C-alpha cells in the first residue's frame, strides 16, 4: 500500500491529458498486449492519476488497490479505441471538427505561453513602492520592504497582470503591423446592431486575403453590446469587435504556422494522443451504445407502477421557530411553553432567528429540505405540539419548533416523472449494453497479460 501511495504521489505531479492509437512494445516493459498493441508500465502509471477520482472502482474486498481490476479497465479502454478505429468513427465530420478545435486551442495556448506568459516579467521594488504610495495616499514609504507582506503580494500580482496585458497588446499590434489589413469603412459605418438586409455575406474587412463577413462581425458586435452598459458609444464597440476578429485571424494563423513544431514536443504529442483516445471512447459510446437505448411508454409505466414510493412528493409542514443562545435558556423557554405561554409572543421577545419579527413563523417547509435532526424531532410530535430543545450547530444555539400543520405528500403524475424514469432505466440499460459489447470485443480479441510484469508492479 505504501508503494501505491508513493507511485500516486510521484505521478500526480505530472498531468497527462492525451495519448495515441499506436502502442509499440518492443524495447519496453509491457503489462498486456491487446491485439498486438501493448499496454506498457508507463501507460499503467499514466492512468493511475485517475485513481484518486474514483478509488472505489479499483479496490478489492480487502480495500487494497486492485492492480488486476485496474489493468482490466485499461484493456477495456483499449478495446473500445480499437473498435472506434475499426468503425472509422475518427473519420466522421463531428469528430474531425472536435479534434481540430482542440488542436487550435492547444496551439493558441502554446503561442501565448511563448510570446507572453513564459517570458520573464521583471517587477522592481520602485514599482511596488510607487503603486503602494498611490493607493495609500499619505503613507510615504521609502522602501518596498516596509510594505506589509500581504499587501506587497497583492501589488506584485497586480503589476504582473498589468504587464502581461501590456505585453499582449504589444504582441497584437506587432502582428497587425506585419499584416495586410483592409477595412471597408463605408460598410462598417452602415452596419448597425440589427440584421444587415443588403447581404450578411459581404466582406467588411480583409486580413491577408482572408475575409471577415458582415454576419461574423454582427455576431461579435451583438455579444459585446450585451456586455456593455447602456449609453456606450456604438462606434467604439464596433471598432473593438472588428479589431478582435482581425487579431484573432492573425493569432490563429501564427498558431497554426507553429503547430507542426509544437506537435514535435513529446509532452504535447503525448497529450494530443491521449485526448484523441478519450474522444474516441466517448464517440464509441455515443454512436454505438446510446442509439440502442430505447423504451416504450408501456415499459416506462411498468417501472412507474412498481416504484410509486420513489415518486411521492415530500410531506410539507408549517412551522414556528424559536432560536436562542444557551441550553439553559432554551430549557427555560420550553418550560414556559409547556405551562401555556404564547409561542408567537415568546418568539418575538426572545428568539434571535430571522423569523422572530413574524412570531417565529417560517411558513411551509418540505420535510426533505430539513436537517435529519429537525425532521426526526418533528416526526415525534403532533400538530400544535412543540419539540424538545434541538441543538442548532455552532455557537451554543438551540431551537424549539412548533408544528402547526402537516400536508402529506401526494404521488407525482406519470407525465411529471417520465423523463426521470427514462434516465433511470437508460442508465441501467447503458451499463448492461456497454458490458455486453465489451464482453463481445474481448471474445474476438487476442489479450495477453504479462503476469511477471504485473507482479513486479505490485
Summarised one tens digit per residue, pLDDT across range 394-446 is 778 999 999 999 999 999 999 999 999 999 999 999 999 999 999 999 999 99
72 or 231, higher pLDDT:
72
393 or 15, higher pLDDT:
393
Summarised one tens digit per residue, pLDDT across range 15-30 is 332 333 433 433 447 8
Q: What's the confidence (pLDDT) of residue 195? A: 53
**Res. 147: pLDDT tops 90:** no
Q: How far is Cα 383 from Cα 402, in angstroms, rounded to an integer? A: 8
Q: What's the confidence (pLDDT) of residue 15? A: 30
Task: Give residue limits of the domains in the chain.
Answer: 2-87, 88-118+181-292, 120-178, 313-407
- Helix H or strand E encompassing 183: strand 181-183
Angle at CA 443, nearest 5°, toward 438 and 446? 105
The residue-averaged pLDDT of 373-380 equals: 92
Secondary-structure breakdown of the chain: helix, strand, coil percentages, each rounded to the nearest 5: 60, 15, 25
Cα 395 to Cα 324, 328, 332, 346, distances in angstroms? 10, 14, 18, 21
Q: How far is Cα 457 from Cα 4, in angstroms, rounded to an integer? A: 10
Confidence grade of residue 46 (pLDDT, cut at 50, 70, 90)? confident
The residue-averaged pLDDT of 379-387 equals: 94
Strand boundaries in 278-381, DSSP class E? 316-325, 361-366
129 or 383, higher pLDDT:
383
Q: How far is Cα 401 from Cα 390, in angstroms, rounded to an integer? A: 8
Instruction: Work out the percent of the chain whose per-residue pLDDT is above 70.
Output: 87
Q: Is the pTM of this model over 0.75?
A: no
> What's the fold here for domain 313-407?
Chitinase A; domain 3 (3.10.50)
Summarised one tens digit per residue, pLDDT across range 229-262 is 776 788 889 999 999 999 999 999 999 999 999 9
The residue-averaged pLDDT of 199-206 equals: 84
Q: What's the confidence (pLDDT) of residue 134? A: 84
Grid cell locating 322 = 424559536
Summarised one tens digit per residue, pLDDT across range 112-133 is 999 999 888 888 888 888 888 8
Summarised one tens digit per residue, pLDDT across range 303-340 is 999 999 999 999 999 999 999 999 999 999 999 999 99
**Res. 63: pLDDT tops 70:** no
Size of the chain in residues: 458
Q: What's the confidence (pLDDT) of residue 62? A: 53
Q: What's the confidence (pLDDT) of residue 21? A: 40
Looking at the DSSP bridge assignments, the partners of residue 399 are 323, 390
The residue-averaged pLDDT of 171-192 equals: 90
Contact by Cβ (8 Å): 120, 301: no
Question: Hey, is 373 helix, strand or coil?
Answer: helix
Grid cell locating 133 = 504610495
Summarised one tens digit per residue, pLDDT across range 148-175 is 888 888 999 999 999 999 999 999 999 9
Q: What's the confidence (pLDDT) of residue 16? A: 32
Amino acid at each position: 500500500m505504501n508503494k501505491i501511495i508513493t507511485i500516486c504521489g510521484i505521478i500526480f505531479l505530472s498531468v497527462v491529458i492525451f495519448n495515441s492509437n499506436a502502442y509499440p512494445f518492443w524495447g519496453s516493459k509491457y503489462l498486456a498486449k491487446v491485439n498486438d498493441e501493448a499496454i506498457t508500465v508507463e501507460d499503467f502509471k499514466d492512468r493511475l492519476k485517475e485513481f484518486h477520482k474514483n478509488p472505489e472502482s479499483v479496490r478489492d474486498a480487502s480495500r487494497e488497490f486492485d492492480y488486476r481490476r485496474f489493468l482490466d479497465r485499461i484493456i477495456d479502454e483499449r478495446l473500445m479505441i480499437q473498435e472506434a478505429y475499426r468503425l472509422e468513427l475518427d473519420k466522421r465530420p463531428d469528430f474531425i471538427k472536435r479534434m481540430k478545435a482542440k488542436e487550435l486551442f492547444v496551439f493558441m495556448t502554446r503561442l501565448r505561453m511563448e510570446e507572453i506568459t513564459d517570458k520573464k516579467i521583471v517587477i522592481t521594488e520602485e514599482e511596488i513602492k510607487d503603486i503602494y504610495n498611490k493607493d495609500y495616499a499619505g503613507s510615504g514609504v521609502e522602501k518596498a520592504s516596509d510594505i506589509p507582506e500581504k499587501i506587497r503580494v497583492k501589488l506584485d500580482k497586480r503589476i504582473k497582470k498589468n504587464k502581461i496585458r501590456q505585453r499582449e497588446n504589444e504582441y497584437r499590434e506587432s502582428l497587425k503591423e506585419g499584416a495586410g489589413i483592409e477595412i471597408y469603412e463605408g460598410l462598417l459605418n452602415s452596419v448597425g446592431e440589427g440584421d444587415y438586409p443588403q447581404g450578411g455575406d459581404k466582406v467588411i474587412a480583409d486580413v491577408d486575403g482572408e475575409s471577415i463577413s458582415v454576419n461574423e462581425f454582427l455576431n461579435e458586435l451583438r455579444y459585446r453590446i450585451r456586455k456593455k452598459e447602456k449609453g456606450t458609444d456604438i462606434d467604439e464597440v464596433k471598432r473593438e469587435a472588428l479589431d478582435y476578429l482581425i487579431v484573432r485571424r492573425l493569432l490563429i494563423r501564427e498558431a497554426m504556422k507553429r503547430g507542426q513544431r509544437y506537435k514535435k514536443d513529446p509532452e504535447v504529442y503525448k497529450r494530443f494522443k491521449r485526448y484523441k483516445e478519450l474522444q474516441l471512447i466517448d464517440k464509441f459510446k455515443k454512436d454505438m451504445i446510446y442509439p440502442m437505448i430505447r423504451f416504450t411508454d408501456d415499459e416506462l409505466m411498468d417501472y412507474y407502477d412498481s416504484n410509486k414510493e420513489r415518486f411521492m412528493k415530500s410531506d410539507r409542514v408549517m412551522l414556528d421557530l424559536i432560536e436562542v443562545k444557551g441550553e439553559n435558556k432554551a430549557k427555560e423557554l420550553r418550560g414556559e411553553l409547556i405551562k401555556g405561554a404564547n409561542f408567537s409572543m415568546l418568539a418575538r421577545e426572545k428568539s434571535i432567528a430571522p423569523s422572530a419579527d413574524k412570531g417565529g413563523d417560517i411558513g411551509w417547509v418540505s420535510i426533505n429540505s430539513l436537517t435529519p435532526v429537525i425532521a426526526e424531532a418533528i416526526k415525534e410530535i403532533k400538530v400544535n405540539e412543540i419539540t424538545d430543545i434541538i441543538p442548532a450547530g455552532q455557537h451554543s444555539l438551540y431551537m424549539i419548533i412548533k408544528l402547526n400543520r402537516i400536508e402529506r405528500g401526494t404521488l407525482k403524475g406519470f407525465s411529471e416523472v417520465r423523463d426521470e424514469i427514462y434516465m433511470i432505466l437508460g442508465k441501467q440499460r447503458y451499463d448492461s449494453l456497454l458490458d455486453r459489447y465489451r464482453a463481445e470485443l474481448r471474445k474476438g480479441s487476442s489479450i495477453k497479460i504479462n503476469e511477471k510484469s504485473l507482479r513486479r508492479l505490485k
